[in-house]
């Protein structure tokens, strides 16, 4: 039969039984046709769980095909040899069998003689990766042969395979950087042809190979990935998200694609993929209400099937980005139920991070705080990395401050003073230097003298106030150094973009709790957000704005 007609008929067959019946009707076929038949059998009979019907390996037609490949390997074409090897690897044929040994030996011999073209090098590399993993010595030999080839005519599949092989043989890419530079350059011009799988594979390889200088290629791949978001498998999407994080890519259209895809797929998506999506949003400070609302609903439905790390990954971003979804009451009721039944299964640092994130959004884990403040739990925290470092002790201190200020009815154990810190090293707490300078200049213009306000004031209560102004009983401004007759304290919070979610006016959780606690500690909190003052053109306008904001009762009155 003509090969073109053979493959047309073969590709329309959907079971191994149909393939065997079709093959038995033929008088003869080439080795490439026989290899194609094996590939078709592997396509219809192998899924993510392996071989659907192991009995097919005993089929007479299948055994005859294998017999010919085993005893006539030296007579096979390169295409027939390597396609057969690929198919048999996928069918999980024993690597130690005479059949597989014969095919691998013949492939390695041809590789040594330099008789394999680009597509054959890639096929052999793929098979050996599946069979022997990254430790296979022949993979380096394949890489050496690739050094001599021109990639410009290679197919997207072959390019992706080269990246996969380099990823496991080279790791950081230093030994083969010249080869990678050529490959990166060729790939850049082929990005539009890449499938979802190849896009994900190449991005993952660029991360592993630390190709931080391949900026044009990475940017093109990330933009290209946007249209593939609905079609990525869970594993592929995780690779793409990791690449966006590693290379610092920020694309609003990518977020929009996720916002459309995640709510539609939340009930079928693997929990680890959802965890990675939430980790991505948290790291990028992206408060996406469609994603967070969908994840909240997914948690309510599936929390009992999640691991403790996945539970934390789902919930912590809500606190970090200071967001309560519409289903908040059901969400935290479900979380409380899960904690009651599985509390002892949580790693100590994971539990602390989880409960700390809850208080950021005024969800108080009162029933679990006695455990957190117990000497036994604190010893466990100290014994496990990162131990009781300053960040961990800050979380403990903030938890204790929260129950003291916001939960006066709490009567459980207190946090011992040796575990408390005096000042809070919050991740995004440092004021924006440029913004801070403009506000201080405006205040100086308004108050006339620098002695009337203090900046970056450490309070006895854990928090650092950006700017503090003291007033007496009549509302007159006192020198900042004065400690007597202070009737009111005003805390100016100079909130730059780093204290808000990305592209949003929503304060991050750590800043929201700080301002809430300062109020409870007796401060009058005045927020100076970047979006209110960035358009003020000069110092006079800044002073006018600050006057209206800090002293609204006297604003507009004549001197």
pLDDT in tens, 449-481: 999 999 999 888 889 999 999 999 999 999 999
Please state, in angstroms and rounded to a whole number, the distance separating the CA atoms of residues 304 and 338: 7
Q: Please give the average per-residue pLDDT across 259-265, as a whole number.
A: 97
Checking phi first, is residue 463 left (phi over 0); if not, alpha (psi -120 to 50) or beta?
beta
Whether 74 shows a pLDDT value over 90: the answer reads yes
pLDDT in tens, 510-549: 999 999 999 999 999 999 999 999 999 899 999 999 999 9
Please state, in angstroms and rounded to a whole number, the distance separating the CA atoms of residues 387 and 389: 6
Give the pLDDT score at 68: 87
Give the pLDDT score at 290: 98
pLDDT in tens, 156-202: 998 999 899 888 887 655 568 888 999 999 999 999 999 999 999 99
Give the pLDDT score at 171: 62
Percent of the chain with pLDDT over 70: 97
Structure tokens at 38: 């094996």
Q: Please give the average per-residue pLDDT across 415-422, as a whole number.
A: 90
Give the pLDDT score at 431: 81
Among 127-136, 280-289, 415-424, the range with the most confident prediction by mean pLDDT is 280-289
Please state, in angstroms and rounded to a whole number, the distance separating the CA atoms of residues 373 and 367: 12
Give the pLDDT score at 462: 86
Contacts of 308 (CB under 8 A, 6+ apart): 342, 345, 346, 347, 350
CB–CB of 495/527 below 8 Å?
yes
Whether 558 shows a pLDDT value over 50: the answer reads no
Q: Residue 110 in 3-state DSSP?
A: helix
Please state, in angstroms and rounded to a whole number, the distance separating the CA atoms of residues 517 and 144: 63
Whether 380 shows a pLDDT value over 80: the answer reads yes
What fold, for 433-550? Endonuclease; Chain A (3.40.960)
CB–CB of 255/286 below 8 Å?
yes
Residue 495 dihedral angles phi and psi, to the nearest 5°: -100, 100
Return the bridge partners of 500, or none. 507
Give the pLDDT score at 381: 95
Q: How does 413-445 read in b/e, with b if 16+ C-beta sit within 10 Å?
A: eebeeebbbeebebebbebbeebbebbbebbeb
Please report, for residues 329, 339, 342, the alpha-carbon distance to residue 496 in angstroms, rounded to integers and kept in the order given.
Answer: 31, 36, 40
Per-domain residue ranges for the chain? Answer: 1-115, 135-249, 433-550
Whether 400 shows a pLDDT value over 80: the answer reads yes
Give the pLDDT score at 173: 54
Please state, in angstroms and rounded to a whole number, the distance separating the CA atoms of residues 297 and 266: 9
Q: Count of CB atoms within 10 A of residue 68's CB?
A: 15
Please report, for residues 31, 392, 398, 490, 507, the alpha-carbon distance to residue 352 in angstroms, rounded to integers and kept in the order given.
Answer: 62, 8, 11, 32, 22
Give the pLDDT score at 559: 42
Whether 60 shows a pLDDT value over 90: the answer reads yes
Please state, in angstroms and rounded to a whole number, the distance separating the CA atoms of residues 452 and 477: 7
Give the pLDDT score at 137: 84
Contacts of 315 (CB under 8 A, 6+ apart): 299, 335, 354, 357, 358
Structure tokens at 365: 């884990």
Please state, in angstroms and rounded to a whole number, the distance separating the CA atoms of residues 320 and 495: 16
């Amino acid at each position: 039969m003509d090969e073109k007609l053979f493959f047309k008929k073969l590709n329309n067959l959907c079971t191994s039984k149909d393939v065997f019946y079709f093959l038995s009707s033929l008088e003869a076929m080439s080795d490439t046709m026989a290899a194609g038949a094996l590939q078709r059998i592997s396509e219809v009979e192998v899924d993510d769980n392996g071989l659907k019907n192991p009995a097919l390996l005993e089929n007479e037609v299948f055994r005859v095909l294998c017999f010919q490949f085993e005893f006539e390997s030296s007579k096979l074409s390169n295409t027939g040899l390597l396609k057969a090897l690929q198919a048999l690897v996928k069918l999980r044929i024993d690597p130690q069998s005479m059949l597989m040994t014969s095919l691998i030996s013949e492939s390695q011999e041809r590789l040594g003689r330099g008789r394999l073209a680009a597509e054959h090098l890639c096929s052999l590399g793929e098979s050996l990766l599946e069979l022997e993993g990254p430790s296979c010595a022949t993979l380096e030999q394949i890489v050496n042969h690739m050094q001599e080839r021109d990639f410009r005519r290679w197919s997207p599949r072959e390019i992706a395979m080269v990246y996969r092989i380099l990823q496991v043989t080279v790791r950081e890419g230093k030994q083969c950087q010249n080869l990678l530079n050529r490959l990166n350059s060729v790939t850049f011009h082929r990005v539009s042809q890449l499938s979802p799988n190849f896009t994900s594979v190449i991005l993952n390889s660029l991360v592993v190979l630390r190709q931080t200088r391949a900026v044009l290629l990475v940017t093109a791949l990330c933009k290209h990935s946007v249209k593939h978001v609905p079609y990525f498998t869970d594993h592929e999407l995780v690779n793409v998200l990791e690449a966006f994080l590693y290379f610092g890519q920020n694309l609003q259209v990518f977020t929009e694609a996720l916002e459309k895809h995640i709510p539609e797929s939340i009930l079928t998506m693997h929990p680890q993929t959802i965890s990675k999506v939430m980790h991505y949003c948290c790291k990028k400070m992206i408060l996406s209400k469609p994603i967070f609302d969908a994840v909240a609903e997914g948690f309510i439905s599936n929390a009992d099937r999640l691991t403790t790390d996945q539970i934390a990954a789902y919930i912590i971003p809500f606190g970090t980005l200071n967001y309560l979804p519409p289903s908040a009451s059901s969400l935290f009721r479900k979380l409380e139920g899960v904690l009651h039944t599985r509390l002892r299964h949580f790693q100590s640092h994971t539990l602390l991070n989880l409960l700390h994130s809850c208080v950021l959004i005024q969800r108080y884990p009162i029933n679990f705080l006695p455990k957190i403040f117990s000497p036994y739990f604190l010893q466990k925290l100290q014994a496990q990395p990162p131990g009781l470092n300053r960040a961990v002790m800050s979380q403990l201190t903030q938890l204790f401050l929260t129950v003291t200020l916001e939960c006066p009815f709490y009567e459980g154990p207190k946090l011992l003073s040796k575990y408390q810190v005096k000042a809070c090293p919050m991740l995004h707490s440092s004021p924006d230097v440029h913004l801070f300078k403009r506000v201080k200049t405006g205040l100086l213009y308004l108050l006339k003298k620098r002695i009337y306000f203090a900046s970056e004031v450490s309070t006895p209560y854990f928090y650092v106030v950006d700017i503090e102004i003291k007033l007496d009983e009549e509302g007159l401004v006192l020198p900042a150094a004065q400690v007597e007759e202070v009737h009111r304290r005003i805390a100016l919070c100079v909130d730059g973009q780093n204290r808000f979610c990305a592209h949003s006016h929503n304060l991050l959780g750590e800043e929201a709790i700080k301002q809430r606690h300062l109020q409870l500690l007796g401060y009058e909190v005045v927020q100076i957000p970047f979006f209110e003052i960035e358009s003020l053109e000069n110092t006079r306008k800044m002073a006018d704005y600050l006057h209206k904001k800090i002293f609204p009762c006297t604003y507009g009155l004549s001197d």
